[in-house]
A and B are shown apart, each in its own frame.
Chain A
Amino acid sequence: MSETLETVDTSYEAPEAIDTWSGGQDPMGISYGKTMMWYFLLSDAFTFSALLIAYGATRVSKPWWPDPNHVFNAVPGFHGMHLPLVFVSIMTFILILSSVFMVRAVQEGHRMNKNGVLVWMALCIVGGLAFLGCQAIEWTHLIHQGLTPQFNPFGKNAEGLTEYGYMMVDGVRVWNESITPGPSTFGALFFGITGFHGFHVFSGVCFNVWGFSMAANGAFDKRGHYEMVEKLGLYWHFVDLVWVFVFLAFYLL
């Protein structure tokens, strides 16, 4: 029986190219699941790019745009102080650190170290939740200032407006450019894009909680590998990657 198989094996020599792509192999050097995760992330990158390009095109097409250093200048606990970039920098660090914790979880998974995976994934989940909390605080603050998807209170001087671009002069309503509301798409783009990113963070946290419970129940030990943690990691790093560009487009530029 085994002799017959051996003669069959040696008599057939497939060309290299056909051998790689004819099935039963991993031509990309990674598993099917990880390959598909990569291509999903590529498609998601196009979605985010489309949103950010729409934002960029809208912004460039306007004669002026609200100054981010005036719009995003609040930090919880420092009421009334002008602190541009501070809060969003903290958010950026939280997300970077969360991403780092995820890499450590993947590395512990390579060593089949269940407790290591659990500790780092727990920290990663806490980071994700902290980021979502920060975003909730920021959104609440901006909504209280009057920013909605239809109305942008940040005029040329980036002050909050109470009335729509008019002021009373001797009992007459006069259009005043310095208190004219900003481009109305600002709120729609801000809430839309940071919201879509926040939705990714939220779903990533949910997936990570699921992965954490699978790991805690020993499901990955039973499988003999922690590849699921790698796939969750790819998604989580992508969320961090998108934030780099959201941070650039909304806060730095």
Chain B
Amino acid sequence: MGAHMDDATYKKDVSTVWRVTVILSIITIFEVAIAMLHIYSPGFQAICPRIVLNIIFIIASIGKAFYIIAEFMHLRHEKKVLIVSLGVPLIFLVWAIIAFMHEANAWNHMKTLGGFGQ
């Protein structure tokens, strides 16, 4: 803690930060660009349906999250035991998302097809 960094490590770390900044910016611009394309270009709508667009958005966001956690929060360079102890509990979320989206879909069907009105 508080150890003085040598110049080579410092320069490498600073260049990593700017590289990650560029990556995060490019991903965000890409997301907004395809969203705009989808709004204004019927041709793009035809080749890229909403569901494909949403999957791209989700993957791009997870990519951004990865870079923020790994580089900005420095987790990639920490001990494995810390990474595992933080990562494993998040597995519960995967199940929570699947379960709730499945159930929500069922509620939707009940409302629209089951005669409960909207």
A29 touches B68 (CB 8 A): no
Question: A12-39: contact bitstring with B at CB < 8 Å (1 yes, 0 no)?
Answer: 0000000000000001111100010011
* A84 adjacent to chain B (CB < 8 Å): yes
**A111-B10, A227-B2 known; A63 and B82 CB under 8 Å?**
no
Contact assessment for A63 and B111 in the assembled complex, using a CB-CB cutoff below 8 Å: yes
Would you call A126 an interface residue if the criterion is a C-beta within 8 Å of the partner chain's C-beta atoms? no
The smallest beta-carbon distance between B88 and chain A, in angstroms, is 10
Let me know if B108 and A61 touch, CB within 8 A: yes
Shortest CB–CB separation between residue A212 and chain B, in angstroms? 19
Contact of B28 among A60, A92, A111, A227 (CB under 8 A): A92
Summarize A's interface: helix, strand, loop or mixed. helix
Q: How far is the CB of B70 from chain A (nearest CB, A)?
A: 11
In the complex, what residues of B have CB within 8 A of residue A247's CB? 61
Residue of B nearest to A50 (CB): B96
Contact of A214 with B by CB under 8 A: no
**Is A143 among interface residues, defined by CB-CB distance under 8 A?**
no
Are B107 and A69 neighbours in the complex by a CB distance under 8 Å? no
Bound Cα distance from A161 to B7, whole angstroms: 61
A38 shortest CB reach to chain B, Å: 6
Q: How far is the CB of A120 from chain B (nearest CB, A)?
A: 11
Residues of A within 8 A of B21 (CB): 96-97, 100
Q: Which residue of A lies closest to B56 (CB)?
A: A252
Q: Output the nearest chain A residue to B40 by Cβ-Cβ distance.
A: A84
Other-chain residue from B4, B35, B65, B90 in contact with A252 (beta carbon distance below 8 A): B35
A58 to B, closest residue via Cβ: B104
Q: Is the pair A35, B112 in contact by a Cβ cutoff of 8 Å?
A: no
If the complex has contacts A100-B21, A107-B13, are A248 and B108 also in contact, measured as CB distance less than 8 A?
no
Q: Which residue of A lies closest to B80 (CB)?
A: A29
Interface status of A89 (Cβ within 8 A of chain B): yes
Contact A253 B104 (CB under 8 A): no
Compute how far the CA of A85 lies from the CA of B33 in the bound complex, rounded to whole angstroms.
10
A89 touches B82 (CB 8 A): no
For the complex, give the distance between the alpha carbons of A59 and B107 in Å.
11
The reply to whether A30 and B58 form a contact with Cβ atoms under 8 Å apart is: no
Which of A38, A53, A111 contacts B100, CB < 8 Å?
A53
Asked whether A111 lies within 8 Å of B4 as measured between CB atoms, the reply is: yes
Q: Is A224 an interface position by the 8 A CB rule?
A: yes
**A226 part of interface (Cβ distance < 8 Å):** yes
By a CB distance below 8 angstroms, the chain A residues around B107 are 60-61
In the complex, besides A28-B79, A248-B58, 14 extra interface pairs with C-beta distance below 8 angstroms are A28-B78, A29-B79, A29-B81, A53-B93, A58-B104, A84-B35, A100-B20, A100-B21, A111-B5, A227-B2, A238-B73, A240-B68, A240-B72, A247-B61
Enumerate 5 A-B pairs (CB-CB under 8 Å) in ascending A order. A28-B82, A46-B89, A56-B100, A240-B72, A245-B65
Chain A residues within 8 Å of B, Cβ to Cβ:
27-31, 35, 38-39, 42, 45-46, 49, 53, 56-63, 69, 84-85, 89, 92-93, 96-97, 99-100, 102-104, 107, 110-112, 223-227, 233-234, 237-238, 240-241, 244-245, 247-248, 252-253
